[in-house]
Each structure stands twice: as structure tokens, then as C-alpha cells.
Homo-oligomer: A and B are copies of this chain.
Amino acid sequence: MTMRQPRAGGRARSGGRPTLEEVAARAGVGRGTVSRVINGSPRVSERTRAAVEAAVAELGYVPNTAARALAANRTDAIALVVPEPEGRFFAEPYFSDIIHGVGVALAETEVQLLLTFASKARERQRLAQYLAAQRVDGVLLVSVHADDPLPDLIEQLDIPAVVSGRRSASEPLTSVDSDNYEGAKAAIDHLLSRGRTRIATITGRLDVYGAQRRLDGYRAALTAADLPVDETLVVPADFTEGGGRRAMTELLSRRPDLDAVFAASDVMASGARQILREAGRRIPDDVALVGFDDSAIARHMDPPLTSVRQPIEEMGREMTRLLLEEIASVGAHHSPASRLLAREQLVLPTELVVRASS
């Protein structure tokens, strides 16, 4: 009883979405000419172009992405690889802001954004395959860990890619990062200017390059002020609220005389604040508190938290811009030998947002 379908998806030839060929027939020109008009080639006369555009409008023609990708060997899509579900990426405020920035940069182009989730090493391995299989023209990597195999795989496969947050000082891929070093330095300088001298810090996971840089900035600021860097004032944590609580507890027992705390994330600052309050320390009267990220948490904390703002959205924008550039340059000169791009290392400035906690 089943009626035979006319092949491929069963959409009838007539009445389905129009094809290039149909537009060509309508405009009374050849397929090649329509293609040239669609792709904005200059080698078309004004008359012809107008005729084709009219036909396109009348038929409501939209190019078939799959066919184009197959023929042209490019997809007009980039992937954002989301480390999932662990990691601070899904936490405030990274995720939304990065994507927001990517969206802004992509808005003026025809490029689509593919979201890809991969947490475990095995998944990320498999992912590299998929990425290479013509799925996307380039890849945006965020929040990569030092031991992540994906960036190296991607580099080997010679896929255009940009990472956020370098894995080390010598990141081989194009990268965009915020100035963690200067950000931390500014935070400490601010505390010093407020007359604080026994400034502790709660660090992030030090295998994350950015966390290390924040610690470097902390030390540099103290040294520049001729203060000794007292290692009892440095406690490593892991970017979590619980970690912030544990670190603060440890700090209070080690150095009950501290008068300021610089936490390498707002979330950790929030944890620290709880402990400080339980210990009866007033903020900022007894202990000044500064965070990092300037997330919603900072704005809504009580008292509102002084924090180092990272231009996350701008990072997303810049990452995308650099990736599109890289893709364009790869497409331009086809020879694989000449694939020696200047791999840019962009570092964006941070900004200290002073609130009542310091």
C-alpha cells in the first residue's frame, strides 16, 4: 500500500525548495551564472545580475548548505568545544559571555556556530575526528586544561583553531587571554593603597596557567611595594566555593592577623566571605576582600565584592575574529606548505571594579 516516494526525502520535485537550476531556468541563464551572482562574483553583467536576483526573490531561493559544503569543501561553520560538564566553564560568568561575544562576531557573517560537548579524554579524542571530517572550518577551544589532548590533536590535523586562556607561556595555537597578571597586580596595588599590609591570597588550580599568572601578579605587586612575600599567606584552592571556604579556614588558623584576602575567583571569594563572617571578621573593616571575574556573584554579594573584571565577551569576539581570519588565510593560498600563519597571542586588559568589600 505504501506509495513509492520520489527519492531522497520524499519531497516532490515541484513545490519543494527551489534549486540553483530552477533559478537559472527562471532567469533564463545558466547554472554557473546564478552561482556567480549568489556568491557575489564580480564577473557578471549588471543586467544579468538583476535578472538573477529577481528570480531568486520570486522563488525564495536559499542555497542548500550541504550541497555547497560538499562541492566547495567548506562548511561556513565553526565549532565551539565546551568542556562538559565539569570545569568552571559552565559556571558564572564565562559561558554566556563567551558565547555572547562569539555571537556578536558571527552576526555580520554567514558563519554558523556549532556547539560541541566533550569532557572525558576519550570523547575529546573522538571529537577531533569529527572536527576533521569536514564538519567545521575551524574550532574555538575554551577552558583547556594543561593535560588536554585535544589542542594537540587539532594542531596535528592542521585545523584552524583559537584557544581561550593559554595553556602555558608558549601556547602553540592562536590564543586570546585576559591579562591575569596585571589584573592580580592591580587588585593587590589597590589593597596596598588602602593601607593593607598582611594580604593573603587564595589561588585557583595552579595547573591552570591563568591561576598561576594571578599568583605571579600577587607576588610581583608585593615585591614592588618592598613587602616580603610570606608563603603562609598563600593557600592554593580549586576555583570552587567549598575550596574557598577550606582555604579561608586554613588562612585564619595560620595567620589570624591578616587584613586582606585576594581570591582568584568570585566564587572562592564567596566561600571565603562565609568563613570570615562566621569568624566574626567584618568586611571590609577587619578584612578587605577582593575577587576575580566580576561575575553576578560579586555584584550581589554582601557587601558587594571588589573584583577584577575580565572582558569575557570581548574575548569571545576576538577569538572569533582571529579564527575567521585564520580560516580565510588558509583558504586563500591553497598550498599546505605555506600554512605558516603568524599565530597570534592576544592578551586583553582587565579592569578593577572597586566595591564596598575593600
Contact = CB atoms under 8 A, between A and B. Distances in A.
B117 A65 contact: no
A133 B73 contact: no
Q: How many copies does the complex hold?
A: 2
Nearest to A8: B73
Interface in A127-176: 129-130, 132-135
A54 interface: no
Given A62-B132, A69-B66, A84-B103, A113 B112 contact: no
Contact of A66 (B3, B5, B91, B134): B134
Interface in A92-128: 92, 95-96, 99-100, 103-104, 106-107, 112-117
Interface string A35-71: 0000000000000000000000000101111110111
Contacts of A77: 114
Contact of A130 (B62, B82, B106, B116): B62
Contacts of A10: 334-336
A132 to B, nearest CB: 7
Contacts of A74: 9
Interface residues of A, number: 58
A69 B8 CA distance: 10
Nearest to A106: B117
A254 interface: no
A271 B113 CA distance: 35
A13 interface: no
Interface stretch (A183-191, A198-206, A212-220, A293-301): A293-301
Interface of A: 3, 5, 8-11, 17, 60, 62-67, 69-75, 77, 80, 82, 84-85, 90-92, 95-96, 99-100, 103-104, 106-107, 112-117, 129-130, 132-135, 270, 296-297, 300-302, 334-336
